[in-house]
Structure 1
Amino acid sequence: MSATPATLPSRTPHLKLALLFGAAGALATLALLPYLLALMPQKFAAMPLPLPVVAGAQIAQAGLLCWLLAWLGLCLGTPYGLDAPWLRAWIYRRPRDPAGHPHWGLAALLGVLAAVVVAGLSLLGPKEAVEQAATATGWAWRGFLASFYGGIVEEVECRLFLVAVMVWLLARCNRRVARPWMFVLAIVLAALLFGAGHLPAAFAIGMAHTPALITRIVVLNALVGVVTGGLFWKYGLEHAMLAHFCADLVLHVGVPLTLG
């Protein structure tokens, strides 16, 4: 099975949907701030500008970036079936495709299972001593708010944008025909980049720059990225967002409450 731009509408609107993702990304970044403040208090304390100014700049930047990347991802990916069909039908008041049944339960289950695997493998590896600035309950409510960032911002950046761009580039090399292997390759590469994107935060809280730790961070986060990437390809971005949100709930709410 392959996908070509000719098989889908050529004048599909994207701006309003991209603006929705931009606004959601800004709100998710606001919700992330309590988690970051507890995770890296010294870094925020050392900033030369007042916290409200820094927070406002980060929120505005994240919202603008989400809007731009979402718009580009939709423009490049929608012709190949990489879209957010449920949100698109809602925001443009269009009937949903009767053949496109939702799989919300499957997405949530896969997200939870991926998180359980990641948590289990993390416990098997060497432990890093990191300064804790909150109790287990404090981490749990902060983790709940931070889960919206993972489910929205990271999925827009790493699935809607990265996967779409990679599939578009690969298809351009094949007379604009996207083969299944191109989707698989794009999903894996985007997942690895998603995993590598967690390294700066890990180093900022004092984790060691060892090859073993770097590999573990990249691979374990990439595992979640592969799951959400597959859901994005098959069922749409909303399913990937739900799976990522559920995975983060397990990792950032369930694990702190369970292990203290």
Structure 2
Amino acid sequence: MQSAALPSPWKPDLKVAAVFAVVAGLATAALIPYLMQMMPDRFARIPVPLWVLVVAQAIQACIVLGGLSLLGLRMGHRVGLGAPLLQHWINRQPLEKSGLKPLNSALLGALAAVLVIGASMAIDPFLPPMQHPPAEVGGAQSAFNGFLASFYGGIAEELQLRLFLMTLLVWIAAKVKGAQPRDATYWNAIIAAALLFGAGHLPAANHVWGLDAMVVIRTVLLNALAGVAFGWLYWKRGLEMAIVGHFAADIVLHVLGPLLSHGASP
């Protein structure tokens, strides 16, 4: 018996999702040096060789994020969200988003990072003492680790929070209402995804400080502030520009910050 062929509507999205799966796996591997700097005590207790951990994490991210990307792309056709630039390059589809503006997207991400730094400077004096301080490394090494980690933030987190989660929220609203989503629906999804983006950083914050009210407020607020900007970019300009904006924000926070010795990381 001949195996059933993949339905043709899925094939273009599968190609794009495959690209996302590969780059997400590589970005996850690139994150490890940053995590080793932030959580040296945890890595000291890992019972397997480091290369095994890196390979396992990369493969897991490739499979999981590739699957989430495919679902996000399929749902996105219904609600006008997706990755228009890659669809254009890979599948020769017309560009559905006008005015992608990568430079403006990067500038918006950088501005969001500056706002995060300002908010951090106001909140950080009220935080409890660190329970597990990050490893002391030189500014250049810390900046390099931050540069590598920026690929994870820009790619993997955008695949999870914008391409999949934000699209899912808008898609559910469209299915329930049986109509094309209104602007308010997109804004609700942007804010919800941004808040969940912030909440996703609570385990790391708990490791560093422990969780009290101020740590929770700082972690969720700072990340959500940036997440709203990335969500707007995804809605108006496509996932690629959200990736550009997120990457630019992380460069400001995790590369320029350590080099200037007073950076803030959400």
Task: Give me the TM-score of the superposition, normalised by structure 2.
Answer: 0.89
Partners of 1:172 and 1:131 in 2: how far apart?
45
Instruction: Tell me the secondary structure at the aligned position of residue 47 of structure 1.
Output: coil
Match 1:207 to one of 202, 206, 209: 209
Give 1:250's aligned residue.
Answer: 252
Instruction: Tell me the secondary structure at the aligned position of residue 14 of structure 1.
Output: helix
Partners of 2:210 and 2:124 in 1: how far apart?
11
CA deviation map 1:165-213 (0-9, x unaligned): 0001111111143121111101100000000111111222x21311111
Report the alpha carbon displacement of residue 78 of structure 1 after superposing the two structures with TM.
2.1
Instruction: Tell me the secondary structure at the aligned position of residue 173 of structure 1.
Output: helix
Partners of 2:22 and 2:200 in 1: how far apart?
22
Give 1:4's aligned residue.
Answer: none
Give 2:5's aligned residue.
Answer: none
Give 1:241's aligned residue.
Answer: 243
Equivalent residue letter for 1:51: L
45-54 or 156-165, which moves further after superposition?
45-54
Partners of 2:124 and 2:155 in 1: how far apart?
30
Equivalent residue letter for 1:42: D
Partners of 2:93 and 2:71 in 1: how far apart?
22
Give 2:123's aligned residue.
Answer: 125
Percent identity of the aligned residues? 45
Partners of 2:43 and 2:219 in 1: how far apart?
24
Tell me if structure 1 keeps the 8 A contact 2:205–2:215: no
Equivalent residue letter for 1:26: G
Tell me if structure 2 keeps the 8 A contact 1:171–1:179: no
Give 1:38's aligned residue.
Answer: 37
User: Which sections of structure 1, spanning at least 5 residues, go unmatched?
Assistant: 1-9
Tell me if structure 1 keeps the 8 A contact 2:110–2:252: yes
Give 1:25's aligned residue.
Answer: 24
155-164 or 194-203, which moves further after superposition?
194-203
Instruction: Tell me the secondary structure at the aligned position of residue 216 of structure 2.
Output: helix
Tell me if structure 2 keeps the 8 A contact 1:39–1:133: no
Matched, 1:231 2:233: yes
Q: In angstroms, what is the RMSD of aligned CA positions?
A: 1.6
Give 1:5's aligned residue.
Answer: none
Instruction: Tell me the secondary structure at the aligned position of residue 125 of structure 1.
Output: helix
Aligned length: 249
Report the alpha carbon displacement of residue 96 of structure 1 after superposing the two structures with TM.
3.3
Match 1:164 to one of 128, 145, 167: 167
Partners of 1:126 and 1:167 in 2: how far apart?
35
Partners of 2:193 and 2:94 in 1: how far apart?
31
Equivalent residue letter for 1:23: V
Matched, 1:88 2:48: no
CA deviation map 1:26-68 (0-9, x unaligned): 0101111111111112111212222221111111111111101
User: Which sections of structure 2, spanning at least 5 residues, go unmatched?
Assistant: 1-7
Give 1:7's aligned residue.
Answer: none
Instruction: Tell me the secondary structure at the aligned position of residue 102 of structure 1.
Output: coil
CA deviation map 1:231-250 (0-9, x unaligned): 10011001100000000000
CA deviation map 1:129-155 (0-9, x unaligned): 424331221110110111000000000
Tell me if structure 1 keeps the 8 A contact 2:150–2:251: yes
